[in-house]
Structure 1
Amino acid sequence: MTTNTILFDLDGTLLEMQTEPFVKSYLVEVGRHIGDKYDTEKLLKLIWDATKAMIVNQDADKTNEQVFIEYFTANSEWEREEVWPLFDSFYRDVFPTLSHLTYPSPWAKKIVETAKAQGYRVAVATNPVFPREAIFHRLAWIGMSADDFELVTVYEESHFTKPNPGYFAEICQKLGVQPTECIMIGNHMQEDMVASTLGMKTYLVTNWMEDRGEPQYPVDQRGSLEELYQALTERTGVFAQA
């Protein structure tokens, strides 16, 4: 079947960055924003555990946001009404300042625009463990917005996370395409290349590649962002026309 849809990972792919240092700095800033009002260490652990609850969730009837809130409120000594305004103000006022932890390059916009010019439908398949606002900020760092894509996965609307194959299946369902019509482009062997188990073609971006070792998945093509742009422009490899 001919491919007609490209799913782009964001962190480490379109937005050049190292995930682990970014997450560590992000949590430090959350703690700083919370200040002395709460036990910062306890609250950050709760945020991390609630995030893990989203990752292992298999209930298709609950969004990631619902899973996060349910876990947080069930295990918290604080009321949601106390803490959530702090989260909201953090994502509104502080998160945008974290762009210095990333390395936006012009390749992202060029690649997406070329894909669209080639007739591909495009979506952002970023792990939906962040609120919409945080994901939209990161798109802005590469000079793009949600309007540039048919779909951007956010935790308010998604029911699974990477590396659950159900996450990719849900994207296909929302776009009305078959997995075999899609190409997944990402930098993570386990979280992105798992899309191959559904029949998607895969392109592993090597600039900021992440690989935890196991499991390993088939990779149809790999290369830098520059090589990705070249392959897309010349319609070679996974982008070759049938």
Structure 2
Amino acid sequence: MTKVILFDLDGTLLPMDTDAFVKGYLKHLAPKVASIIAPEHFLKCLWAGTEAMMRNIEAEKTNEHVFEETFLELTKLKKEDIWPTLDDFYTNVFPTLSHLCSPTPLARQVVEEAVKQGYRIAVATNPVFPKAAIYERLRWAGIEDMPFEVVTFYENSSFTKPHAQYYQEICDRLEVEPSECLMVGNDKQEDMAASQIGMKTFLVEGYIIDRGEPSYPINEQGTLEQFYVSLMKRQGLFEK
């Protein structure tokens, strides 16, 4: 029986074209560090740090640690040389980028209905961003005050999607079995990979991301509105 609903954020509860969002985000970020490091080199090192996080499966290292280690080694900078500028960006500039997505009131309705029906809830967004950026996007989605028991970000996570360890880490923190969880997301590889450890899955249509392979089982799929109706009427995956 499902006890916990794990929600992806980007493209799921927060409708957006992820590629367009990332391009817009980097367009604003790169100039902020221009006085410290050439923007082109900065972006190259930023992507290398991100790729290192995506590869990492060392449980003793957080994603934050992996990113810092890779990024600082490549840039030849000290943390104090650039981190205050990055922190300032996430505090003062990132909050102005909500125009890069299309928030819907349906996100809050879905989460409120899940809570009303007694489900435990968590945000399982790929933890390659700092906490400040994740919580800002929760604010854009209108759900920052909801009682999520876990929200994954790069400071508190040691793995990323689509690694099975990422989903197992969430289960361990919630003290539940994977079979007691439902993963809701729009990415056929990163989100549906939750099925590897026995989670049920719901693919949200609208901004589906599909790289072709690998292919994972999908229990149900539909729009966020269809998910809401099924949840509200206790149909399909929500039949008691």
The alignment's TM-score, normalised by the length of structure 2, stands at 0.98
Structure 1 residue 73: deviation in Å?
1.8
**1:136, 1:146 within 8 Å by CA — same for their partners in 2?**
no
SS of the equivalent of 1:128 reads coil
- SS of alignment partner, residue 203 of structure 1: strand
Moved more, 31-40 or 211-220: 31-40
Aligned residues: 240
| Cα drift, residue 146 of structure 1 | 5.5
Range moving further from structure 2, 150-159 or 71-80: 71-80
Q: Which amino acid aligns with 1:124?
A: V
SS of the residue corresponding to residue 204 of structure 1 reads strand
Q: CA deviation at 1:72?
A: 1.4
Equivalence map 1:8-19=2 (5 Å): 8-19=7-18
**2:63 corresponding residue in structure 1:** 64
> Could you tell me which residue of structure 2 aligns to residue 183 of structure 1?
182
In structure 2, what is the Cα distance between the partners aligned to 1:210 and 1:73? 31
Counterpart amino acid of residue 130 in structure 2: P
Q: Deviations over 1:172-200 (max 9, x none)?
A: 00000000000000000000000011111
Residue type at the aligned position of 1:205: V
Moved over 4 A (4+): none
Structure 1 equivalent of residue 128 of structure 2: 129
Partner of 1:107: 106
Q: Displacement of 1:98 after TM fit? A: 0.7
Partner of 1:201: 200
**CA contact under 8 A between 2:36 and 2:82: conserved in structure 1?**
no
Aligned to 1:138: 137
Using the TM superposition, give the Cα deviation of residue 238 of structure 1 relative to its aligned residue in structure 2, in angstroms. 1.2
> CA shift at 1:120, angstroms?
0.3
2:96: which partner in 1? 97
Q: Does 1:214 align with 2:175?
A: no
CA distance in 1, matches of 2:122, 2:211: 25
| Deviates most, 147-156 or 179-188 | 147-156
CA distance in 2: counterparts of 1:93 and 1:157, whole angstroms: 23
Q: Deviations over 1:190-223 (max 9, x none)?
A: 0000001111110000011111111111100000
Letter in 2 for 1:204: L
In the TM superposition, what is the alpha-carbon distance from 1:36 to its structure 2 partner? 4.0
Q: Which residue in 1 is equivalent to 2:150?
A: 151
Which residue in the other structure is 1:76 paired with? 75
| Aligned counterpart, 1:49 | 48
Distance 2:12 2:211 in 1: 17
Q: 1:203 to 1:21 in 2, by over 3 A?
A: same
The one-letter code sitting in structure 2 at the alignment partner of 1:18 is D
What's 1:85 paired with?
84
SS in 2 for 1:183: strand
- Report the 3-state secondary structure (helix = DSSP H, G, I; strand = E; otherwise coil) of the residue aligned with 2:97: helix
* Pairwise CA distance, 1:141: 0.4
CA RMSD of aligned residues (A): 1.0
Q: CA deviation at 1:148?
A: 2.6
Q: Which runs of 5+ in 1 are unaligned?
A: none
SS at match of 2:122: strand
Deviation, 1:237, is: 1.2
Tell me by how many angstroms 1:147 deviates.
4.8
Paired amino acid for 1:171: I
Q: Which residue does 1:225 correspond to in 2?
A: 224
Shift of 1:37: 3.7
